[in-house]
Amino acid sequence: MGDNNKVAGGTGSSNAAAEKVKRRRRHQKPPRSVLNPDENGLFYWLAFLALWVLYNLWTVVVRLAFPELHQGDNLFAWNVCDALGDAAYALDIAVQFRTGYLEQGIMVHDSRKLAAHYIRSKAFLIDIFSLLPIDWMLLTDQVANPVMARWRPAARFLRLTKLYRVFAFYYV
């Protein structure tokens, strides 16, 4: 009779423990490496990224309108700024891989699910498309063909496909 109580008591306590673990998982905070879309971190990141998108928007127009601005001594400064903007875009892809999302009302913060969710999204294709290095390929032709140098800033129009992130910042 004592053995039956042990078995019954053991099963009941394991069920209670399993329920406690499930409840704890539901209310568990995501790891620090996961960006919660409901917190300020995403807002600050989108603000930073919006600055780079706007940089590309303004400089493409200015450099096409005034081609003398991106020649000679100014070329190095433009290339550095362009490289920093491209680095911010690449970093945004990494951030997107670590941004949580809601699935059936529960915040997902599992690394594999986050990556799979982002890769299957249209945003991933847009982000990869926005980083195509066409303008950098034209930079190598710039010395050989000065006509191509004039149109190099136009190749940065691909960076403007990232404009959807500025709208996301606006709505946040």
DSSP label at residue 37: T
Q: Are residues 121 and 68 in the same domain?
A: yes
Q: Are residues 114 and 159 in the same domain?
A: yes
What is the Rg, in whole angstroms, of the alpha carbon atoms belonging to the chain?
Answer: 25
Q: What angle do CA 164, 33, 49 make, to 5 degrees?
A: 25
CA 116/CA 15 separation, integer angstroms: 32
Q: Are residues 11 and 93 in the same domain?
A: no
Residue 20: the pLDDT is 60
Out of 36-45, 57-66, 146-155, 163-172, least confident range: 146-155
CA 91/CA 128 separation, integer angstroms: 12
CA 43/CA 172 separation, integer angstroms: 7
State the CB neighbour count (10 A cutoff) for residue 56: 23
Residue 23: the pLDDT is 56
Q: Which two tokens stand for residue 162?
A: 């990232």
State the CB neighbour count (10 A cutoff) for residue 156: 23
- 26-64 tens-digit pLDDT: 556 657 778 888 889 999 999 999 999 999 999 888 888
Q: What are phi and psi of 167, to 5 degrees?
A: -65, -40
- 87-99 tens-digit pLDDT: 999 999 999 999 9
Q: Are residues 42 and 89 in the same domain?
A: yes
- The total number of structural domains in the chain stands at 2
Identify the burial level of 112 via C-beta atoms within 10 angstroms of its C-beta, where 0-12 means exposed, 13-18 middle and 19 or more buried.
exposed
Residue 45: the pLDDT is 94
In terms of residue numbers, what domain contains 2? 1-30
Q: Which residue in 47, 132, 37, 139 sits closest to 90, CA to CA?
A: 132
Q: Are residues 84 and 160 in the same domain?
A: yes
Q: Are residues 129 and 45 in the same domain?
A: yes
